[in-house]
Structure 1
Amino acid sequence: MILALGCGIAAISLALAIDGKPLDYWKINGYVVQPAVLLSVVATIANALLVFAFTKGATIAWWHSAMRGATLKELHSSYAYGSGLTAIFSSVAAFNTVALAAVFMPVLLMDGPLLQRAVGVVQTVDITRTNSTIPLSPSPFIEGSTGILTDHNPVPSLYHPLFAKVLQQYTNRDPVLLPGICDGICEQEDYYNQSNYQYNSTGGGTERKNSTYDGPLPVQTMFNVNVGFNSIFMNTNQSFYGYQYGIDLNTTYKSTSGINGTLSHHHCRLYEAIVKYPLLLQNDTVTLAPMPLSTNRTVERVWRIFETQGQGNFPSTLGGIWLAVLSSFNTSAQLYPVAGWYGLIPTNPISSQYLRAESADDLSTYNITFEDPMDDMIFMSNELAFRTAYTTTSTAPGGVNMGIGNLRFNLSSTQPYVSVAPRNPPGLLHRSLPTDRITSSALDLVAKLDRYSQNPPPEVSRYEQDAKDCVQHPPRLACWRIRRHGSRLPGHCTYILGLVATGSVGQHEPA
């Protein structure tokens, strides 16, 4: 009973000790042990000890009653009280301390849930600064890392084999993995050169203008996307002449509904440059953080020598990205008059992704509009540039000039750390200890017996075993000892042993 009460106090102390401490504090050999599990173990041990104390106390109380002259009915009731709760309701007249303790034993069932409810869990978020080293080069793209110029062709017509894998990963939306960089979620804002983006909108950013259209006309363009690849030869004021390679993105789209309305035009030129972009790292995955695509984040333009073309295959640095954007967005859609109605004829299905109409019937009228795909093209360009930077840093394309410089850089970022800590709801913790105390007090009543109750007299213990032997193997010396020396015991006890020894009831009187 003392051990059980000690376990109850230990459970309360444990519940108080874990209040507010993160779950990581309770690691054992690298494994997090839930505080609720510890409380459950302690409560189970306490309950087992109390059940053991009740069983022993009921046995002692039975012998005590027998030695004090209890009747057979009282002894039977006392035995039944120690065997189950249902006997209490069938023998109310013989209610005693054993029955009282048996009534309070089910209180133990409340102890475990109260202790577990006494430990809740709350989450707190702390923003910290963390330094990481990620395997991305801060240098410009590896020369010739994305496209291939074939047979005197001034623009690329093939993907570099390594970039083809990058494009496939982009299409499949495979995550970019940087193992061991961030534990949780990290975010870096406005760093320089750190994701190897050399590809951004510079030189005035984007240009927008509108024009009007009047219909109907025999043939009228309603949607057009043109992706161009160019190089500009100019003096860089650095004692040499270089080429600035770029990608021209041009969109024209019908932005208003009706037979007369507005055509919107949007132009953006993308140059090769070192830029600054935010990264979002979540565990082992890195992505581009959300950002306004129209913002000019250029740090330094990149100038290269003229890309060689001729008989054979020659590498192109930005050509693969241009070819990927061209294949995904180059399209056109026109309205043609057909026997009193208008048919929308696209060059490929790409334009249908940006077509907007109220119903299918409007597709043969001027009541259609298109959305601008410019943001999608810029996003794809940025994403491919980032994936190319990551891939070519770890695996350089074969047969090209490395010129990559440092392969790593230090990243300082903000990291929100989610801390999960137990909390003790008020009230529940203080209700769990009384359950142990109530049951212990009831058992204490059973244990408050005289000196005979602590250990049965030697005569009783000896004759109890003799009685069992006499019943199993009559006649035996044990039966003779019971009849010969039974007078040394109290009258009712001798009578009980005699009944047990002979296996009969009502045939023997007290010695």
Structure 2
Amino acid sequence: MHYEVPSFGRSPWRPGFWSRAPVFGLLALVGAVICSVGTAVVLATSNGREQQTWPSPDVWVQPSVALSVLTAATNALLIMAFQEGVTISWWIKMLQGGNLNDCHRYWFYANNVWAAVTSGRHFNKVALACMMVAIVVVDGPIMQRASTVKSVTADAPRNFSLAIAQDVMEYPSGWYTGRAKSVDTLSGNFTRVLTAYNNRDSIHPPLAEGCRGTCKGSVIAPGWDVDCKYETKPKAGHPDVAKDVDAGSISVVFNGPYQTGGITVSALFAPQGLMKEMVSATCQMQIGIVRHHVEVTSDGAVTLERKPLTSPVNDTIRTDWPWIETAGLGSFPSALGGIALAASQMYGSDITLYNGGTLQIQGEGVMSYAYRNSSDDVLGTENMTWADPTPDVVAAIQELTFRSAVYYANETTPLAAAEDGHEVLTTAVYESHYEFLLGGLAVMLLATLAMMPLFHGWWNLGREVSLSPVEIAMAFKAPHTDGGDANADVSTLLKQIGKRRAQYGVIATEFQGGGVGGGGSTRDLNSPGFDFGPGITPIPSPGISPGPISPTSPGAKWCIFTGTEVPAGDRGSEASQTAVP
């Protein structure tokens, strides 16, 4: 066989700051810095923001996810920068000159963290960068703790609306059924309203919009203008034996078919006992449109808030004076009489105290048992006291009217917007922990700084470089790279000599030919495709048997040998056969 070593031209060596700039490595460093700063931006902008609203309600993501992506990107970019920086450092070191130990360490420390950690007095910038690349992965767990979720309660202005019918006078609440001209039964619809009231069912308008938590405000709806007066009355005194004395009462009176828009609530009670003055309360109530102070929950449930009967704030928008109602022989509807009847049946009371040795409570209605507010120790004495029932009665009438307005509303009813609405919302918000941010940033920025020295001196390189074994073999002038362009980048070099066969194995014998080339060569007798060329006579290698050689035979040499067999008719093709001890 015939082998020739072709010769390729030499590329120019062109160092330069801009022409040799490691673009991808530097961009990786810049990207790592940007991602590091991005973690601070994430924590700063998400702190205090509600869940599912960051960065916007339409497109939202958890800050912890964003932090994970940014830290992973930072770490990946630092690894990219490290790989390119190590390559530059190795070649710059070789340009500056050094021994083979330096050559090895610059490569070994880049590929072995333990070697970098235990480098001792041989510690260098490659070892530092390798250690920082290994350490920087802790930024992920640190950043994960930098953003958490907590519950907070906030009070802020809020607009909300409720669907409430604005005219309850269109719907009867009761009926006149006799000549007495008094309402004596309830309408079917109002009976359902009263049942819901007695069951304390939640008030749910057919539509309630705008409230996410607990909202408070005032809504305009049918209600009552209330004018209450309190007067003192003579004390009840202690009754004689076998005698009784009036101790209190509650009455709710519908003003009748001629004053159909009015209800009178009266109460008499003894707030300081029987031996001190009693108090009389009289409230004139007139139907109209008023502001109801309401509390609305996120599910649309409405609760009416009471206001003091003697409040200086006038919540009446207007008072209405309905038409005269018909009453007599037959059944005739009453718009408000059923409300008064229901309140009278619930609260109408009379209390008497009978002296049978001790004072015995007698009478009927809720007041006798529900409004006594004195301790049990004074039962049977003139020191028994009763609370004012008037606020409860008025509140019941207001709520029954409000419930009726809600009952008669539907999905087409115009919404009543709340005035002075505000919302108390307990929500989950993101909380940033900047101490973890500082820890994570410190690791990332230190790792970034550790990469920068690796790029120092890139402007001294005259071509693109890599740590490819082919390129390094060319730099060391390995025989099997003979003829290649020593200044070419690795891609060009592989086009020139990349097809040369290489195999690591045992050199079986050495031979010297007298044919073409006339030089010495080393062959593996077991290599397929290789034959002794004409005129080549094998001779024994020193210490190697001329017979078949085992890889474990004494004196066997291991090396990389290359070769491309060239047919006899193609002597001009590339060929080489080299043994490297």
Q: Distance in 2 between matches of 1:77 and 1:9?
A: 30
More helix by share: 1
Q: Which deviations, in whole Å up to 9, do the C-alpha atoms of 1:117-157 show, x marking residues without a partner? A: 499999997758x6x8764444452141x223445564334
Pick from 336, 339, 342 the counterpart of residue 324 of structure 1. 342
Distance 1:265 1:413, change over 3 A: closer
Q: Report how far residue 387 of structure 1 moved.
A: 1.8
| Matching residue of 1:442 | 450
Q: Distance in 2 between matches of 1:328 and 1:8?
A: 75
1:307 correspondence with 2:313: no
CA contact (8 A) 1:153 1:310 kept: no
1:347 correspondence with 2:364: yes
| Matching residue of 2:539 | none
Deviates more, 1:450-459 or 1:328-337: 450-459
Q: Report how far residue 255 of structure 1 moved.
A: 0.9
Pick from 366, 384, 397 the counterpart of residue 400 of structure 2. 384
Q: Distance in 2 between matches of 1:127 and 1:328?
A: 38
Q: Distance in 2 between matches of 1:125 and 1:503?
A: 86
Give unpaired runs (5+ residues) of structure 1.
234-242, 396-405, 463-476, 489-500
Query: How is 1:328-407 mapped onto 2 (pairs within 5 angstroms)?
Result: 328-338=346-356, 340-345=357-362, 347-348=364-365, 351-358=368-375, 360-394=376-410
Pick from 200, 211, 221 the counterpart of residue 225 of structure 2. 200
Q: Report how far residue 164 of structure 1 moved.
A: 2.5
1:214 correspondence with 2:229: no
SS state at 1:225 partner: strand
Give the % identical residues.
21
| Matching residue of 1:247 | 263
| Matching residue of 1:26 | 55
Q: TM-score, normalised by structure 2?
A: 0.60
Q: Report how far residue 381 of structure 1 moved.
A: 1.1
Q: Distance in 1 between matches of 2:193 and 2:209?
A: 21
CA contact (8 A) 1:140 1:273 kept: no
Amino acid at match of 2:225: N
SS state at 2:327 partner: coil
Q: Distance in 2 between matches of 1:484 and 1:354?
A: 121
| Matching residue of 1:6 | 31
Q: Report how far residue 323 of structure 1 moved.
A: 2.8
Amino acid at match of 1:337: N
Give unpaired runs (5+ residues) of structure 2.
1-24, 475-501, 511-520, 523-549, 560-580
Q: Distance in 2 between matches of 1:89 and 1:172?
A: 74
Deviates more, 1:217-226 or 1:417-426: 417-426
Q: Report how far residue 321 of structure 1 moved.
A: 1.5
Q: Which deviations, in whole Å up to 9, do the C-alpha atoms of 1:376-397 show, x marking residues without a partner? A: 11111112111212222439xx
SS state at 1:214 partner: coil
SS state at 2:207 partner: coil
Pick from 162, 169, 172 the counterpart of residue 141 of structure 1. 169
Q: Distance in 2 between matches of 1:268 and 1:508?
A: 119
Pair member with larger Rg? 2
Amino acid at match of 1:323: L
Q: Distance in 1 between matches of 2:149 and 2:453?
A: 36
CA contact (8 A) 1:230 1:247 kept: yes
Distance 1:78 1:208, change over 3 A: same
| Matching residue of 1:106 | 135
| Matching residue of 2:516 | none
Q: Distance in 1 between matches of 2:361 and 2:424?
A: 54
Distance 1:219 1:57, change over 3 A: farther
Q: Report how far residue 256 of structure 1 moved.
A: 0.7
Q: Report how far residue 160 of structure 1 moved.
A: 2.1
| Matching residue of 1:46 | 74
Q: Distance in 2 between matches of 1:457 and 1:263?
A: 110
| Matching residue of 1:456 | 468
SS state at 1:368 partner: coil
Q: Report how far residue 180 of structure 1 moved.
A: 5.6
1:264 correspondence with 2:279: yes
Equivalences, count: 448
SS state at 1:200 partner: strand
Distance 1:157 1:47, change over 3 A: farther
Pick from 156, 180, 202 the counterpart of residue 174 of structure 1. 202
CA contact (8 A) 1:19 1:423 kept: no
Distance 1:39 1:175, change over 3 A: farther
CA contact (8 A) 2:149 2:431 kept: yes
Deviates more, 1:363-372 or 1:290-299: 290-299
Q: Distance in 2 between matches of 1:166 and 1:365?
A: 41
CA contact (8 A) 2:257 2:326 kept: no
Amino acid at match of 1:106: I
Q: Report how far residue 373 of structure 1 moved.
A: 1.2
- CA RMSD across the alignment: 5.4
Distance 1:305 1:287, change over 3 A: same
1:155 correspondence with 2:182: yes
SS state at 1:355 partner: coil
Distance 1:274 1:459, change over 3 A: closer
